Structure 1
Amino acid sequence: MNRYLQDSFAPVHEELTAFDLEVTGAIPDHLDGRYLRIGPNPATDPGEGYHWFLGEGMVHGVRLEDGHARWYRNRYVRQHGDDFPPNTNVLEHAGRTLAIVEAGAKPYELTHDLDTVGPCDLGTVTGGYTAHPHEDPNTGELHAVSYNWARGNLVDYSVIGTDGRVRHQAEIEVTGSPMIHDCALTEHYLVVYDLPVTFDLGMVAGEAPRPLQGQLQATDRLIDQTLRRGRTARVLPYSWDADYPARIGLLPREGTSADVQWCEIDPCYVFHTLNAYEEGSDVMIDVVRHDRMFASDFTGPNEGPAYLTRFTIDTAAGKVREHRFDEHSQEFPRHDERLTGRRHRYGYAAGVVATGVRTGDSVLKHDLVAGTTTERRLGAGREVSEFCFVPSAPDSAEDAGVLMGYVFDPAAGISDLMLLDAETLEDVAAVHLPGRVPAGFHGNWASTG
């Protein structure tokens, strides 16, 4: 049976609402808002060929206020028309709660109570949106790279203003048609990953993987027909292309495709950036680096361990150095987002078991200045998810606050929302939920203030 339909990945089908949740420990009084997280949750049996990334989205939320856990809700993102319901990230921007995904699908707006409002065009971003925008803490604008299999070798850089609409957009020419799951932001640059996981018509046509470089060598009609078959079969039309050049691009924030400085790196794949910043003429980019992706396993990200790695781009020489920080396999890196695009010291991640199929029971804290990593084990058999950082005050120190994320206890069959002290990784509080939150993707704190 498909591993992404079993155990902690298995979908839940009941939409729950619970009030006045039991809490162990003490929720800090300053936390006034919602912790939101989303993930794939197939509504019907998707079959053995199912790819984890393609399940319908379900959002899970907990409302915290005055030291209490007021409610928990889980809700499907309900599909409108032929849209793909977002399943990858959920965040608050310009007063709206947005569920987002990539590869040409539209963002969806949700109510405060997580019911679906419907598609949201953000002022019409070309070719859909992304799962990973990055907010500039100085301006409040969202910067993103969006890709779409129908766009050939073009991807789009967009800036969404604090009014929730596009302020700036530019096309970027890449080598072929890559999957660009994330990007990065520095003070002066957008960082673009052009890496060897590329659009592959053969994957959804039931043939051997067939990488395509340059402009897509197929008609729009063939692409549409093939992808509709692939969507029905839950096949992800991307695979590893060993011949595709791996490179990182630096685009000046208000620049055009002609202004990108491209730098070659060793073949790898990056789902997630921790953070990036400039130091003199160097650009430092901290990521979780996979040696390859979707080369042998076409149901999910299961190609071996992944490590926190720094790419240092010498912009004067056009060269890139790599440095691996430690030997913990990990994913879902996060940082204090008040420092997005600026120099950071700390990063946090979920430990991943050696096979890479699921997270383990550990939360990692990296001190990137001291070069040390602290591991907090939450209990044998428990499974952590992504933890995000919430500061204790707007002007508090970088690690003064809490880490917040869902933890599943297989023995009990239910999940908790765990709050850890970001400095020590010790328990602050656990909110006990009425059910299980399946293994999923990304979450964020949506403050009421």
Structure 2
Amino acid sequence: MTTRRTHGTSHLLTGGYRPVTEEVTEYGLPVLGQLPAGLDGTLLRIGANPLGPSDPATDHAFAGDAMVHGLRLRGGRAEWYRNRWVRTDRVTHALGELPTPGPQSGLCDNTNAGLVRHAGRTLALGDGGALPFQLGDQLETLARYDFNGTLPAGFAAHPVADPLTGELHAVAHRFGRPQLSYLTVDSDGHVSRAEPITVKGAPMVHAFSLTDRHAVIYDLPVTFDPRAAAAGSRVPYTWDEGHGARLGLLPRGGRDADVRWLEIDPCFVFHPVNAYEQGDRTVIDVIRHERVFDRDPLHPTESTPALWRWTVDHRHGTVLERRLDGRAQEFPRIDDRYAGSPYRYAVTVGLRPDRGGALAGPELLRHDLLTGHTEVHRLGAGREAGEAVLVPRGAHAPEGDGWLLSLVHDTVTDRSELIVLDSAHFTGPPVAVVPLPVRVPHGFHAQWVANSQP
């Protein structure tokens, strides 16, 4: 154990949301059941874990300092667990450490929003134009990373890897600027294209969707709020009723002028599921929030997020909006081998917004989008899971066939554990459980880094 900090009282600082105050390393974790031999890699999870006191009147739910958790699995063993704060300027200052090396970009460097493995590097990602931080195999922060000097400004929280080309695509926004940047990173880790995209106002574009023909851009009514920025908010965005909502379809290889904008009903999307082409239509599946950061500008729980499908008819310039599943859910994951292509399965976290559940919930949902059937894995009383990551059973396994890994908090023990589900028996008990020595606070996103992954 290397670092201890204390906390005041703040928003999501109760139950499974309470931040941890120590960096911990534990070896030789117990395993209940049998870890599949094919699980050779590290499960990573990132989220907001405030370092130091928090003010419940002003602190945004997404503003906590970035912390990464890791669990190394190999040969049926859980070799180690560790957690580390990402060494942003704020964190190094608080810990009395030297600043992290590397270039600077934008007003904020808090990369608590996502993780990606690309071109041999594991990167922690953030919103608002923050540069990624490169992490080492032991979760140590190595440096800020600008893709070998090829990134013209900031990066994005949710890039999409094209499984066919090996490229990484992203749509980046920067605080207060009425312009986005569509970025393409080649398989060697160099930005090969940076196309400016003009938008009205300065919307938050937390994520986008990618098909084999288009980048789908979400220009939605959560926009930069100068008043929130002046008040010191680290996430200065609120609902803007007059902004409207629209989808932008940018042909891959196209320019700003080639974006086709289509109006949709007002809403917000933190996390798309997937998108693909179907003849002269583009099918876009998302988790849709009817409204966020309006009545409650600090938390994303004022409406029920549900699974929706938007179908763009290119001939007529229309968008058909249809709800696929009305249950409260978030954090969708698919078999990443099918990103941008027609697909069948999506797994989400079933939430309980009425109980404050925004980042975790008491069940996992597995949607069969071909049949419309949904399987439910119920965790039991007092247990809440975060985002589930699929590890395919093998390189040539059918879509969705493999193991689902999720971190679960148990309110009785106030500790967390890894559960491993067999997708073939989704509703049944886990094939393996790894009890952890600590609580992993409910966070944002998970990433599996295979031992052989480049």
TM-score normalized by the length of structure 2: 0.91
Q: How does 1:225-304 map to 2 (within 5 A)?
A: 229-231=232-234, 236-304=235-303
The alignment partner of 2:354 has SS state of: coil
Bigger Cα displacement from structure 2, 419-428 vs 100-109: 419-428
Moved over 3 A (4+): 80-83
Aligned to 1:164: 189
2:61 is aligned, of 45, 52, 65, to 52
State the alpha-carbon separation in 1 of the partners of residues 240 and 305 from structure 2: 19
State the alpha-carbon separation in 2 of the partners of residues 300 and 118 from structure 1: 31
Amino acid at match of 1:390: V
State the alpha-carbon separation in 1 of the partners of residues 132 and 345 from structure 2: 30
State the alpha-carbon separation in 1 of the partners of residues 354 and 146 from structure 2: 38
State the alpha-carbon separation in 1 of the partners of residues 241 and 59 from structure 2: 24
Aligned to 1:72: 81
Aligned to 1:142: 168
Bigger Cα displacement from structure 2, 416-425 vs 174-183: 416-425
Aligned to 2:434: 431
- Consecutive unaligned residues of structure 1, counting only runs of 5 or more, are 207-228
Identity of aligned residues (%): 44
State the alpha-carbon separation in 2 of the partners of residues 37 and 11 from structure 1: 14
* Corresponding position: 1:383 with 2:408: no
Displacement of 1:168 after TM fit? 1.1
Aligned to 1:221: none
Displacement of 1:356 after TM fit? 7.2
For the 8 Å contact 1:127–1:146, the answer to whether it is kept is no
State the alpha-carbon separation in 2 of the partners of residues 170 and 83 from structure 1: 22
2:225 is aligned, of 200, 206, 214, to 200
Aligned to 1:214: none
Aligned to 2:118: 93
State the alpha-carbon separation in 1 of the partners of residues 183 and 330 from structure 2: 26
How many pairs were matched up? Answer: 422
Displacement of 1:5 after TM fit? 2.0
- 1:225-261 CA-to-partner distances (Å, cap 9, x unmatched) read xxxx334xxxx21000111120001101111111111
Aligned to 2:5: none
For the 8 Å contact 2:11–2:61, the answer to whether it is kept is no
Aligned to 1:225: none
1:34 is aligned, of 42, 60, 76, to 42
For the 8 Å contact 1:301–1:357, the answer to whether it is kept is no
- 1:9-28 CA-to-partner distances (Å, cap 9, x unmatched) read 11101111111111111111
Amino acid at match of 2:411: P
State the alpha-carbon separation in 2 of the partners of residues 323 and 257 from structure 1: 28
The alignment partner of 1:8 has SS state of: helix
State the alpha-carbon separation in 2 of the partners of residues 281 and 356 from structure 1: 43
Structure 1 residues 125 and 303: alpha-carbon distance in aligned structure 2, compared to 1, 3 A threshold: farther
Amino acid at match of 1:12: V
**RMSD of the TM alignment (CA)?**
1.3
For the 8 Å contact 2:334–2:400, the answer to whether it is kept is no
- 1:73-92 CA-to-partner distances (Å, cap 9, x unmatched) read 10010124585231111222
Aligned to 2:20: 12
State the alpha-carbon separation in 2 of the partners of residues 97 and 32 from structure 1: 16
- Consecutive unaligned residues of structure 2, counting only runs of 5 or more, are 1-8, 90-98, 100-106
2:211 is aligned, of 186, 211, 214, to 186
Amino acid at match of 1:279: Q
Displacement of 1:355 after TM fit? 2.7
Amino acid at match of 1:433: L
Aligned to 1:3: 11
Structure 1 residues 125 and 356: alpha-carbon distance in aligned structure 2, compared to 1, 3 A threshold: farther
State the alpha-carbon separation in 1 of the partners of residues 82 and 10 from structure 2: 27
For the 8 Å contact 1:130–1:146, the answer to whether it is kept is yes
State the alpha-carbon separation in 1 of the partners of residues 171 and 307 from structure 2: 22
- 1:411-431 CA-to-partner distances (Å, cap 9, x unmatched) read 111101111112321312111
State the alpha-carbon separation in 2 of the partners of residues 15 and 377 from structure 1: 31
